[in-house]
Chain A
Amino acid sequence: MLIADKVADWGIRIGGLSVIVAVFGIMVFLMQVVVPLFTGGRVLGQQSFRIAGPADTLVAGGLDETHVVAYTIGRDGEVGLYHVASGRRLAVPPLDLGGKRVTAFGRSIVGGEIALGFADGTVRFGKVTLSAEIVPGEALPAGLQSLGSDRTDGSAVFTPIAGEQFRKTAIAIRLDAEQRVVEGRSIVALDYRSGGTVERPVRTFATVDDAGVPRLSLAETRVNMLTRQARTTVSTAELPALPAGTRVARAMVSEKGDQVFVVDRGGIVFRYDTRDAKDTKLAETRDLLVGNASVGSFDFLIGEQSIVVTGSDGSVAVYFRLPQPGAATTDGFRLVLAHDLKPQTAPIEAFAPSERGKMFVTADAGGGVTLRHSTSEQVLLSLTQAGGVAKLAALAPREDAIMVIGADGLATVWHVAAPHPETTWASIFGKVWYEGYEAPAFTWQSSSGTDSFEPKLSLVPLIFGTLKATLYALLFAVPIALLAAIYTSEFVTPKVRGTVKPVMEMMASLPSVVLGFIAALVLAPLVETFISSVLLAFVTLPLSLLAGAYLWQLLPRDLSLRLGGGVKLALAFVALAAGLLIAAYAGPAFERAFFAGDVKAWANGDVGSGGPFTFLLLLPLTYVAVSIVSERLLGDWLGIERAQPGLRTGLTDAARWTATLAVAAAVAALVATLLTAVGLDARGGMVSTYVQRNTLVVGFAMGFAVIPIIYTIAEDALNSVPEHLRGASLACGATPWQTATRVILPTAMSGVFAAIMVGMGRAVGETMIVVMAAGNTPIMEWNVFSGLRALSANIAVELPEAVKDGTLYRTLFLAALTLFVMTFVVNTLAEVVRQRFRKRSAQL
């Protein structure tokens, strides 16, 4: 063997196989990108240290951005700052509380704003800042002690980062002067939000004193423009008192100060409507816990639309405040259980929300620590800590570390990664109850202008859009393509076929971007202006063709035989033109008669009744029914079916057809009247509000892409039916029509089916036409006059903007995988059927 042979042998084998491997690698690669969406969270490392002093008296704690340090604040103002990796306590001066002990504590989710309440009825605001600044290596202070890879000067931590630089992490706590809320009463519950501008900060805080009086206060600081001195004024509104015997567990205020919640230990929530500070109302009283469980925590998640309620029974539930018609509350809103999350086995003691998303941590008395996501309802991580009853939990700002401090003072820090908490199979393919929605829904909305926006990534509306576009495109394309294929294969001479087929195939080579452009910028405005004519054409085109047929029947048989299929095709063009002309001219009259003079207003449901349209929908059905009856009865009786073609028979048949049409119309009108009387109206379902770039236009444009494919494959299938079958049928006296419908079509059926499947595959994956002509609104309605957003279009529009390896990026890969699988299934089915057809036709 020659060396060249060996090289070629191996080269070709390896080359061939590698192409096949590459081709299947696509699917594997797509899957590999998608899988992390469903893997929940992982623990990257775990560290623990012991805090100084008792854990029972902690009021707050947290981690910095890079979780190098952790801090705690005690009731006595003691501040602990710990280096997480070594557990070493750093020196931080305690808060100067003037010897008082904190009796109530409130904090904001983001920004480190804190408020402390005291037994003498005063409150103090403050802010905890964990600062991070970059220090160049040469500017590092001298005499640093080593903390593993980090260094410290005793109070701050220096962490080496890239470029020979260090990040200095330190804590700074600012505490403002005290404000008096109530005289002679102790504050037992407190919540605090800071808003307004830098020049005019507005602080909203809600307090409850030991007599059970809730208050809402507003502290406004104004800077005098001349003296540059800040003056703070506090205005306090007393809210309707709580019932006697309420053991207040928690007070909570919304950022705008329009809602105050006070929670009793037994789980009863008192919701105050404070939109009008002069007229505050107790809007709603609800018991959110089952039985005699007590409240573990009651907190907002970021965005303040979700309220997480945990209980001593281990339950974790998320409530939304939603407007409800007929709600027994003064403001029409009601707390609604939106997500009932997986319970924990022990009473829940600590809770920590995320600063950037809908994740939160719950820690229970049995050492169970759970990282959850509210919207997707999934448990991302289940951890166990050894420090006994959890006293405090914290989630790092970047959601990449959890700290839990147990009763015995053991603090455990887990470094975690949960990059895609919002996605589960259920959240992508099922209904999800998002904040601000009145019920669970399928929603796709990947981005928005606001910060607290939560991406809504359900693929269902997109899959629906793809299916809708495919369905309407096929409704339009399949009949045309199949009928045209049958005609080309069975009724015209090979010469005509030789010109017709390449013309139709030329359609397949039109780039879809061109189709999309013409559809969106030429066709869509045209269809919008002449919508009534377009709708009328669906009626006039078949009718004018049928009229042509009955006129043709008047010709003497020998003449019509001599003229043959080509001339008939030419005349069909004439009939088509006539039908279009009639539609164009009769459009306005049709619009007046059927759509109260304005199709768009009619479709919107503003004018007219649904009856005439129901009549149009019923007309084809009744026509088929009536014509079957009339052929069976009238045809037999008149003998037309068996009569020799000619003028007289033709006339009789034409008369019969006219009668059939009239009767069909009458029946359709009758049924439509009945259905309308019952209240059936096509509007709101198949037809509704009209938009310019709609499914009708998409279906038509997609027809250009799909018709040639179905046509070619179906024509090939019909044509490959063995000639002897055709010959035998014709020789037995069957007409070409009988041969086509009873011999050729049944034999080629599987090939024709395969053609439809391949066409469907093309429609499913078509991108540019839907991007340009479909309006890209991810809505779920079958309305033919509205737009849609298909999987393919969505990928094309959003993927260039998606951050690599982000949730949106991976979800779009999932969309691609879905498309891949959809078309693969459809095409494989078509291929298997086609191969069976080939085998069968080879046997014939």
Chain B
Amino acid sequence: MSATIEPLTTRSDAPTYTRSRVTALGALGEPFQWLLAGSLALGMTMIVGFLLLVLWNGVGALWPKPIHLVTFADGTRIAGEPTRVEEFRVGPERLASLDEATRRRIQVDAGYAWRTLYRTGNFDFYNDDFRWAADFEVAKVEAPVDFYFVERLEWGSFVGRIAVVEVAGERLAIDDPRAVAAHREALRRLGAIRSLEHGAIGHVNARIERERLGLRRVAIRESEASPAYAEAKALAEARIAELRAEYQRLADEVQRLKTEDQRYKVTLVEIGGKDKTLRLSEIVRFYPANGVGWLERIGIYLSRWGEFLADAPREANTEGGVWPAIFGTFAMTLLMVIVVAPFGVVTALYLREYAKQGRMVAIVRISVNNLAGVPSIVYGVFGLGFFAYTFGASIDQLFFPERLPSPTFGTGGLLWSSLTLALLTVPVVIVATEEALAAVPRSMREGSLACGASKWQTIKYIVLPRALPGIMTGLILAMARGAGEVAPLMLVGVVKLAPELPIDGVFPYLHLERSFMHLGFHIYDVGFQSRNSEAGKPMVFVTTLLLIAMIAGMNATAIVIRNRLKRRFAGSQF
């Protein structure tokens, strides 16, 4: 650019059309402006496109799709849900194996062709859930009405016909209302078995374990030769015997239900003619994919969402729900806020109200700002090394010697995860609180002090209430950051499948030492560690949608509070 701002008329050779004093073209930098605008547009396209991608896939993932019966040119047939259609490049070997006309057609499209991914299910028959069907190899696509999509407890989904439903010895067709009722009854029975197994029996087991540990504790404290031990042993053994009897009673009850459950069966036949008989209770949901109307579809969709939000995962997390992960994320975030709030606020109070504003405070403030930029994984490393392995191991030595060598607090868990994330988010809270404190007008503080209030009274009754919305904003932002972090949690306590929730009905109700599931880690785990990342994809997208919605919700709340704060300030100026 050689655009200069010197007066145009000073040049003797100025062309005649520059008489009027309008801005010169070169000074506008139009091409550059367009590059700037283009960058902004690209940035916005990226974020909007990203959100749309997640939204589309997340919202659509649970929608019941039709079942297509695909007949290939070579006569083989598959049945499945069309999952995805995409353009692909036909490999040279594949191309060579095709006939002349097809090859030419593909070559016209520059070597690309379209293909559809069918979710064929029936993993137990074919060791595969999915099958690609390229457009050029498909001879015929039908939509048979009698094909069912069956969601099973094990082996993933099944696609095929339902031959017969056996209800207590009687053979029924699937469209018989009694069969549907039997299925509902079977599911209820399964629920009863589960609640017995996980609830009552789990409780009894926990109590037996507690007796055993209590005895070991006495052994460690008093040595096995002491009379106290003999006494404790007799007592514990009596209690354990009692509990064993209780256990046996419950186990018998479960067995009775299971025997009953055996009498309700269903036989499925897949497209290749292979059949499989399983218990009716092993089927979560079934519907004739091409024979259901819109209302029924919406019903299935909502019931799937219900399952997703309220149930535990199954099939290596690729199916079922994410309730434990939702619970874990919330519990961890909440605990983190409980820890981070006092510390962050106290530090900000110290920096803003108590410390002498000098070089030291400036350095500390730079450091706090800086710590906000320290990679989260470093906090994870610290959390593992310090909280779990050093601090937690000492707690185990002191308070839980009877459980050693298996660690209680000496490994990752809910408490350590929350503390690690609290450390990670404390700079966010400090900075936000400081800003909020700084925004409280000096005049109010001075007014309070002039009226004879002490420093603490001023802070408690004047400063903190005014700064509260700002502090809340900071806390919510910290929660949003904490809920989205995964990397440090991978080191300090998140697991792919936690058998128990961190809060339950067994004393002491809140189990801070337990490892837990987390939505973010669930995404990583299902997307990357599962046997078939394609099968898990719908789950991952729905989980992603949930996580983003959670974080966006928190951020939106923070923004609303911030705006309300602004309004309040506008009113409080005088």
- A residues in contact (CB < 8 Å) with B: 1-2, 4-5, 8-9, 11-13, 15-17, 19-20, 22-24, 26, 29-30, 33, 479-484, 486-488, 491, 500, 503-504, 506-507, 509-514, 516-518, 520-522, 529, 541-542, 545-546, 548-550, 552-553, 557, 565, 568-569, 571-573, 575-576, 587-589, 592, 631-632, 635-636, 639-645, 648-650, 653, 657, 703-704, 707, 711, 732-735, 737-738, 741, 758, 761-762, 764-768, 771-772, 792, 795-796, 799-800, 804, 812-813, 816, 819-820, 823-824, 826-828, 831-832, 835
Q: Is the CB of B2 within 8 A of A631?
A: yes
A-chain residues with CB within 8 Å of residue B454 when the two chains form the complex = 1-2, 4-5
Residues B442-483 near A (CB distance < 8 A)? 454-457, 459-460, 480, 483
Contacts of A735 in B (CB 8 A): 23, 27-29
Given contacts A12-B350, A15-B347, A23-B426, contact A509 B555 (CB under 8 A): yes
Assess the A768–B33 pair: CB atoms within 8 A: no
Instruction: Let me know if B101 is at the binding interface, CB within 8 A.
Output: no
Known: A16-B350, A484-B40, A631-B1. A795 touches B28 (CB 8 A): no
B398 within 8 A of A: no
Query: Nearest Cβ distance between residue B66 and chain A, in whole angstroms?
Result: 24
Q: Are A704 and B46 in contact (CB under 8 A)?
A: yes
Provide the bound-state CA to CA distance between A507 and B369, in Å: 21
Q: Are A488 and B40 in touch, CB under 8 angstroms?
A: yes
Q: Flag whether B408 is at the interface (Cβ < 8 A).
A: no
- With both beta carbons as reference points, the residue of chain B lying nearest to A576 in the complex is identified as B41
* 26 examples of A-B residue contacts, CB within 8 angstroms: A12-B346, A20-B368, A23-B423, A26-B379, A29-B382, A480-B43, A487-B36, A500-B44, A504-B47, A545-B34, A545-B37, A546-B34, A572-B41, A576-B38, A636-B2, A643-B24, A734-B5, A735-B27, A741-B29, A765-B375, A799-B381, A799-B491, A813-B381, A820-B374, A827-B373, A828-B370
Which B residues between 169 and 220 are near A, CB-CB below 8 angstroms? none
Separation of A831 and B431 alpha carbons in the complex (Å): 14
Provided the pairs A632-B2, A767-B376 are in contact, do residues A511 and B346 lie with their beta carbons within 8 angstroms?
A: no
Contact A816 B17 (CB under 8 A): no
Say how far A517's CB is from chain B's closest CB, in angstroms. 5
- Asked if A548 and B551 sit within 8 Å, CB to CB, the answer is no
Size class of the B contact interface (CB-based, 8 Å): 35 or more
Min CB distance, A192 to chain B, in Å?
41
User: Complex Cα distance A799/B382, Å?
Assistant: 11
Q: Which of A16, A511, A765 contacts B347 (CB 8 A)?
A: A16
A831–chain B nearest beta-carbon distance, Å: 5
Q: Say if the beta carbon of B487 comes within 8 Å of chain A.
A: yes
Cβ contact within 8 Å between A799 and B384: yes
Cβ–Cβ contact B1 & A521, under 8 A: no
Question: Do B88 and A529 touch (CB < 8 A)?
Answer: yes
Structural contact, B375 and A20, CB atoms closer than 8 A: no
By the criterion CB–CB under 8 Å, are B39 and A819 in contact? no
Given A509-B551, A517-B540, are A796 and B377 also a contact pair (CB < 8 Å)? yes
Neighbour of A511 across the interface among B3, B31, B486, CB < 8 A: B486
Taking CB atoms, residues of chain B closer than 8 Å to A1 are 454
Check B17 against A643 for contact (C-beta < 8 Å): yes
**Contact between chains at B455 and A9 (CB < 8 Å):** yes
3 smallest beta-carbon distances between A and B, as pairs? A765-B375, A16-B350, A511-B484
Cβ of B111 under 8 Å from chain A: yes
Which residues does chain B contribute within 8 Å of A711, judged by CB atoms? 43
B385 contacts the other chain (CB 8 A): yes
**Docked CA distance A800–B380 (Å):** 11
Query: In the complex, what residues of B have CB within 8 A of residue A642's CB?
Result: 8, 14-15, 18, 24-26
Report B235 CB to chain A, min CB distance, Å: 25
Question: Which of B23, B377, B480 has the most A CB atoms < 10 Å from its CB?
Answer: B377
1/0 contact trace for B366-396 toward A, CB 8 Å?
Answer: 1111110111111111101110010000000
Inter-chain contact B35/A12, CB cutoff 8 Å: no
Which B residues fall within an 8 A CB radius of A? Answer: 1-3, 5, 8, 14-15, 17-18, 20, 22-48, 50-51, 53-54, 86-89, 110-112, 342-344, 346-347, 349-351, 353-355, 364, 366-371, 373-382, 384-386, 389, 423, 426, 430, 454-457, 459-460, 480, 483-487, 490-491, 520-521, 523-524, 527-528, 533, 537, 540, 544, 547-548, 551-552, 555
* Chain B residues with CB under 8 A of A632: 2
Asked whether A635 and B33 contact (CB < 8 A) given A509-B480, A569-B40, A588-B111, the answer is: no
Please give, as numbers and ranges, the residues of chain B lying within 8 Å of A514 by CB-CB distance: 54, 484, 520, 523, 544, 547-548
Across-interface contacts of A542 in B (CB, < 8 A):
35, 38
Contacts of B42 in A (CB 8 A): 480, 484, 541, 576
Point out the residue from A484, A529, A645, A792 that lies within 8 Å of B89, measured CB to CB: A529
**A19-B346, A643-B17 in contact; A572/B456 too (CB < 8 A)?**
no
A552 and B30 contact, Cβ closer than 8 Å, known pairs A491-B36, A645-B22, A792-B377 = yes
| In the complex, residue of chain A having the shortest beta-carbon distance to the beta carbon of B426 | A19
**Given contacts A9-B354, A517-B544, is CB(A645)–CB(B523) below 8 Å?**
no
B487→A800 contact, CB < 8 A: no
A residues in contact with B548, CB < 8 Å: 510-511, 514
Shortest CB-to-CB span from B530 to chain A, Å, is 11
- Chain B residues lying within 8 Å of A506, measured Cβ to Cβ, are 47, 51, 552, 555
Dominant secondary structure at the A interface: helix
Q: Which residue of B lies closest to A569 (CB)?
A: B37
A511 touches B524 (CB 8 A): no
Contact of B533 among A2, A483, A521, A733 (CB under 8 A): A521
B149 CB, nearest partner CB in chain A, Å = 24
The residues of A that contact B112 with a CB separation of less than 8 Å are 588
Minimum C-beta distance from B106 to chain A (A): 12
B385 pairs with A813, CB closer than 8 A: yes
Which of B33, B369, B485, B540 touches A827 (beta carbons < 8 Å)?
B369
Distance A766 CA – B484 CA, assembled complex (angstroms): 13
Q: How far is the CB of A657 from chain B (nearest CB, A)?
A: 8
Bound CA–CA A186/B366 (angstroms): 80
| Contact status B378-A820, CB under 8 Å | yes
- In the bound complex, residues from chain B placing their C-beta under 8 Å from that of A569 are 37, 40-41
Chain B residues with CB below 8 A from A588, complex form: 110-112
User: Across the interface, do A703 and B35 meet the contact criterion of CB distance under 8 Å?
Assistant: no
- A819→B378 CA distance, assembly (Å): 7
A824 to B369, CA, bound (A): 10
Chain B residues positioned under 8 Å from A29 (CB to CB): 382, 385-386
Residues in chain A near residue B426, CB distance under 8 A: 19, 23
CB-CB < 8 A to B490: which residues of A?
A: 796, 800
Using CB atoms, name the residue of chain B closest to A643: B25
Chain A residues with CB under 8 A of B347: 15-16, 19-20
Task: Name the one of B23, B38, B353, B527 contacting A645, with C-beta atoms under 8 angstroms.
Answer: B23
Nearest A residue to B364, CB-CB: A20
Closest beta carbon of chain A to B561's beta carbon, Å: 15
**B44 contacts A823, CB within 8 Å?**
no
Question: Known contacts A30-B381, A831-B369: does B89 contact A5 (CB below 8 Å)?
Answer: no
B456 touches A4 (CB 8 A): yes
> Who on chain B is nearest to A816 by CB?
B381
Partner of A572, one of B38, B111, B344: B38
Nearest Cβ on chain A to B549's Cβ, whole angstroms: 11
Within the complex, the shortest CB–CB distance from B337 to chain A, in Å, comes to 16
A674 CB to closest chain B CB, in angstroms? 29
Known contacts: A507-B46, A542-B35. The answer to whether A812 contacts B523 by CB under 8 A is no
A509-B484, A565-B37 known; A644+B18 contact, CB < 8 A = yes
Q: A9-B455, A635-B26 are in contact. Are A800 and B371 (CB under 8 A)?
A: no
Interfacial chain B residues near A734, Cβ < 8 Å:
5, 27
User: In the bound complex, do residue A13 and residue B354 qualify as a contact, i.e. CB atoms below 8 Å apart?
Assistant: yes
User: In whole Å, how far is A229's beta carbon from the nearest beta carbon of chain B?
Assistant: 47
In the complex, the answer to whether A823 meets B375 with C-beta atoms within 8 Å is yes
In the bound complex, CA of A6 to CA of B371 (Å): 30
> A768 to B41, Cβ gap below 8 A?
no
- A243 CA to B277 CA in the complex, in Å? 81
Bound-complex Cα distance A572 to B44 (A): 11
CB distance from A306 to the nearest CB of B (A): 33
